[in-house]
Chain A
Amino acid sequence: MNNTDARMRKTVLFSMILVPVIPFVLVILVGYFYSAISIEARTVETLQRIVNDHRHMIDTFLRERRTNLEFVIHTNSFESLRRPHNLAFVYDNLRGVSNAFVDLGVFDENGLHVAYHGPHQLSGKVYKEEPWFVGVMQNGVHISDVFLGFRGYPHFIIAVARQENGKTWVLRATIDTYIFNDMVGRIRIGKSGEAYIINNDGVFQTAPLAGDLLLQPDPNRSLYLMPHDGIKTFMSNPNIPGVFQPYFGRDAYLYATTWLEEKPWLMVVRQEKKDAFRNLRFAMYLIAGIVVTGLTAIVGLAFHQTGRVIHRIKRMDAEKKGLENQLIRATRLAELGQMAAGFAHEINNPLQVIRGEQALMEFIITEMREKPEGIDDGSLAELEDSIRQMTVQISRCSHITQAILSFGRNTEPDMEDIRLDDFFAEIIAMISNKAAVHGISINQRIGGDAPLIHGDKGLLQQVLLNLLNNAIDAVLEKHGSRGGEILVYAGRAEDGQVEISVQDNGAGISAENMDKIFTPFFTTKPPGKGTGLGLSVCYGIVENLGGEMSVSSHEDAGTTFTLRFPAAGK
């Protein structure tokens, strides 16, 4: 009982938790997966757009400055520009185009600085061996990396060359990098997003956010200093495969890089992963919260509901049991009603006979009184006959009432272990005289180890005597006073129970009567011969003793009543 309770409780609890948890977890996972994908795509796209826009801006800036110089060198001759007045005029015009121009210098093919306009006095020096001069003489244009130089602030130079009258000359401008620092450094994405430029060797051309690293080598350059086309996006740590990894350490950066077109410089935009995906991170915390709360709620609710369900089931069981008991009581009452009606009928019939006898006697007595001289033996004999008949009828009534009493008796049986061989001997002794008178042989057979049964000896005797009497009646009906046989058998059944049977070769029971034989007041005997209570009383006794009673019969061949009792000591 407790075991099944626990198992039922487990089953209910399990399904109550599992059924909501599966869709809940699925919804959470799918939701997280798709929102993560979409957030990642948007973040990467933003980073790519920024890096592309700014590369474009820097490229444009460099191209414009180069074009400015190319325009100047092609519209002016070497001779005119070496004149300081003209150079100053051109410088002023250039400053009008962009105030990034710091100074302007003119060099002949030997690298001699022939004219200069700017804040320093630099003319006269020879730059023939300088790498920038070699570069411009080779390619016609040269853009240098950023350097501090003796000026002490970051700048770079753009130099362009022109062939004029068989001679090459060079125009060089110094460009202040503040504008471009400003352009790149202004980029802020979230809290940690930044942009910077490094040259071919991994040296910072603009200052990164962290530290005073301008013109210092980039410690992370190995991550991205490699040739590639277009925009490259990647995660700083190769051990972090993607945004699904819930790793948000300080070294986790999302990068987007692209090479400039005008100059082999790399534009780098980066943002801490933690920062870039902070919405996702927030969503993750929220989801974790929801999961914990949801699971707690589901489990809690499941426990609560399981308790209620189990409680309700138990109550229903109890109600059902109550209803069953009620039904049993109702059946008992109906049986009782039936019995009472049967009882009335069975008692009223002999009473009616007695009434008849009484009336007859009264009449005879009146007759006698009217003519006392005529009292004869006949009248007296009639009176005696009537009195005898009244006695018979009264004892018939009392039989019925006794049977009723034993039928209704519900007292605890007086239980003892009964040895069946002794018991049978006693019973057969009681009945053998009656059997012998009718020429019936009673045999007994006790199978096996003379089993003991636990029961009330008196009650069991009543049952056996009743069955034997029935058997004698059945045998008489069939055979008269010759050839009757009755077998009383006791033995152990296959299931260990003790079986007692009374078998006769009498008239048997017809199929239509078979299901009525245990009904109170059902009898096939003529009025006054049977109460119709014997078998129903036996049935009640056997059941009360914890046994079972069954019958099998073939009409005209005989009947066997079988009683089964649990063996003693079990």
Chain B
Amino acid sequence: MKIPGRNIMKHFFTEREPGMDVKKEMKLMIVDDEERFLYAMEKLLTKKGYDVQTASSGEQCLEILEKKRLHVVILDIKMPGLDGLETLRRIKRLYPLVEVILLTGHATVESAVDGLKCGASDFLMKPISADDLLERVEDAFARSRAVAAKIDEARSRRFMQQSPGDILKDAAEEK
């Protein structure tokens, strides 16, 4: 599945800091109703050194997100119960900084467009190889980092313009 503009986005956002250990820092979750797929992927990615979680339904995914801060979620669209698109909407509403990659065995343009409209950052079609999947995951993570960096920058710029008293007051309000 080729999403137009993806390369440009990649160009913009792929500013990996040299020497940084992506594997250690990135927290990843795979959501799919194929238990065996979850099993194999969890095993493989853990072996490769990634911090990976699995969830077999949309509901479970939201439960985990409630407890744990994650960077990237790989979400199957067709699942019993809460389906992928609905789960995506809820994730984006509750945790807008989490990057979501949609995964489906049933590729139609409509569902791809729907997914991207709802805030998915990528759209992949099954079957996809583990390497390709990881590449996309890392791209997504880089974007998430870039966004986080910009927010940090904006925040520190605000700090610079404020008096220390204001900063303390803001900090108190934030709490």
Contact B44 A359 (CB under 8 A): yes
Contact B44 A352 (CB under 8 A): no
Contact A363 B128 (CB under 8 A): no
Contact B33 A356 (CB under 8 A): no
B104 to chain A, nearest CB (A): 8
Across-interface contacts of A341 in B (CB, < 8 A): 106, 108
Interface residue? A463 (CB, 8 A): no
Interface string of B124-139 (1 = CB under 8 A from A): 0111111100000000
Contact B40 A349 (CB under 8 A): no
Interface residue? A233 (CB, 8 A): no
Contact B105 A359 (CB under 8 A): no
Interface residue? B48 (CB, 8 A): yes
Contact B34 A346 (CB under 8 A): no
- Measured CB to CB, the nearest residue on chain B to A382 is B43
- Measured CB to CB, the nearest residue on chain A to B48 is A363
- Measured CB to CB, the nearest residue on chain A to B107 is A344
Across-interface contacts of A345 in B (CB, < 8 A): 78, 104-106
A200 to chain B, nearest CB (A): 120
Across-interface contacts of B105 in A (CB, < 8 A): 344-349, 351-352
Interface residue? A418 (CB, 8 A): no
Interface residue? B41 (CB, 8 A): yes
| Whole-angstrom CA separation of A65 from B127 in the bound complex | 143
For chain B residues 19-65, which have a beta carbon within 8 Å of chain A? Answer: 33-34, 36-37, 40-41, 43-44, 47-48
Q: 30 A-B residue contacts at CB 8 Å?
A: A345-B105, A346-B105, A347-B105, A348-B106, A348-B125, A348-B127, A349-B37, A349-B105, A349-B126, A352-B34, A352-B127, A352-B128, A353-B34, A354-B127, A355-B126, A356-B36, A356-B37, A356-B44, A357-B40, A359-B44, A359-B130, A359-B131, A360-B47, A363-B44, A363-B48, A364-B47, A367-B47, A389-B36, A393-B36, A527-B33
B16 to chain A, nearest CB (A): 23
Binding site secondary structure of chain B: mixed
Residue from A342, A351, A359 in contact with B40 in the complex, judged by beta carbons closer than 8 Å? A359
| Whole-angstrom CA separation of A357 from B106 in the bound complex | 21
Contact B34 A344 (CB under 8 A): no
For chain A residues 328-381, which have a beta carbon within 8 Å of chain B? Answer: 341-342, 344-349, 351-357, 359-360, 363-364, 367
Q: Most chain-A CB neighbours within 10 Å: which of B44, B47, B131? A: B44
For chain A residues 131-160, which have a beta carbon within 8 Å of chain B? Answer: none
Binding site secondary structure of chain A: helix
**5 closest Cβ contacts across the A-B interface?**
A348-B105, A359-B130, A345-B106, A356-B40, A351-B127
Across-interface contacts of B48 in A (CB, < 8 A): 363
Residues of A within 8 A of B (CB): 341-342, 344-349, 351-357, 359-360, 363-364, 367, 382, 386, 389, 393, 526-528
Contact B41 A351 (CB under 8 A): no
| Whole-angstrom CA separation of A342 from B105 in the bound complex | 9
| Whole-angstrom CA separation of A352 from B34 in the bound complex | 9
| Whole-angstrom CA separation of A389 from B43 in the bound complex | 14
Give the size category of B's interface with A: 20 to 34
In the complex, number of A-B residue pairs with CB atoms less than 8 Å apart: 74
Across-interface contacts of A355 in B (CB, < 8 A): 126-130
Across-interface contacts of B107 in A (CB, < 8 A): 344
B22 to chain A, nearest CB (A): 18
Across-interface contacts of A346 in B (CB, < 8 A): 105
- Measured CB to CB, the nearest residue on chain B to A524 is B80
Across-interface contacts of A354 in B (CB, < 8 A): 127
B7 to chain A, nearest CB (A): 24
Q: Most chain-B CB neighbours within 10 Å: which of A342, A356, A359, A364? A: A356
| Whole-angstrom CA separation of A356 from B132 in the bound complex | 12
| Whole-angstrom CA separation of A341 from B125 in the bound complex | 13
Contact A348 B126 (CB under 8 A): yes
Contacts A352-B127, A360-B130 known; 13 new A-B pairs at CB < 8 A: A341-B106, A342-B106, A344-B105, A349-B37, A351-B127, A352-B34, A352-B105, A355-B127, A356-B37, A357-B40, A359-B40, A360-B47, A364-B47
Across-interface contacts of B103 in A (CB, < 8 A): 352
Residue from B40, B78, B128 in contact with A360 in the complex, judged by beta carbons closer than 8 Å? B40
A347 to chain B, nearest CB (A): 7
| Whole-angstrom CA separation of A355 from B104 in the bound complex | 14
Across-interface contacts of B127 in A (CB, < 8 A): 348, 351-352, 354-355
Across-interface contacts of B126 in A (CB, < 8 A): 348-349, 351-352, 355
A370 to chain B, nearest CB (A): 12
| Whole-angstrom CA separation of A359 from B43 in the bound complex | 10
| Whole-angstrom CA separation of A389 from B41 in the bound complex | 13
| Whole-angstrom CA separation of A386 from B33 in the bound complex | 18
Across-interface contacts of B36 in A (CB, < 8 A): 353, 356-357, 389, 393, 528
- Measured CB to CB, the nearest residue on chain B to A354 is B127
| Whole-angstrom CA separation of A344 from B47 in the bound complex | 31
- Measured CB to CB, the nearest residue on chain A to B79 is A527
| Whole-angstrom CA separation of A352 from B130 in the bound complex | 10
Across-interface contacts of A527 in B (CB, < 8 A): 33-34
Across-interface contacts of B131 in A (CB, < 8 A): 359
- Measured CB to CB, the nearest residue on chain A to B105 is A348
| Whole-angstrom CA separation of A349 from B129 in the bound complex | 13
Contact B44 A360 (CB under 8 A): yes
